[in-house]
Structure 1
Amino acid sequence: MFTLGSSHRFFLYGGAVDMRKGFDGLSGLVRNTLDRDPLSGEVYIFLNRNRTLVKLLHWE
Structure 2
Amino acid sequence: MKMFVEPPGIYLHKEPVDFRKSINGLSVIVEEHMRLSAFSGALFVFCNRQRDKIKVLYWDQTGFCLWYKRLEKDTFKWPKQMRGEVLTLSERQWSWLLEGLDIERMKGHQPLQFSSTY
Q: TM-score band, normalised by the shorter chain? A: 0.7 to 0.9
Per-residue deviation, residues 10-59 of structure 1 (Å, max 9, x unmatched): 00000011111010100000000110111110000000011000000011
Alignment of 1:27-46 (within 5 A): 27-46=27-46
- Cα distance between partner residues in 2 of 1:24 and 1:39: 12
Q: Which runs of 5+ in 2 are unaligned?
A: 61-118
Find the counterpart in structure 2 of residue 17 from structure 1: 17
Q: State the percentage of identical aligned residues.
A: 32
Return the alpha-carbon distance in structure 1 between the equivalents of residues 22 and 50 of structure 2: 19
Note the aligned Cα RMSD (angstroms). 1.4
**Match for residue 69 of structure 2?**
none
- Residue aligned with 1:56, SS: strand
TM-score, normalised by the number of residues in structure 2:
0.46
CA distance in 2, matches of 1:19, 1:55: 8
Greater relative contact order (Cα < 8 A, sep 6+): 1
* Higher radius of gyration, 1 or 2: 2
- 1:49 aligns with 49
| SS of residue matched to 1:58 | strand
Q: Secondary structure at the match of 1:16?
A: coil
How many residues align? The count is: 57
Give 4+ residue runs of structure 1 displaced > 3 Å after superposition.
none
- 1:58 and 1:31 map into 2 onto residues whose CA distance is 13
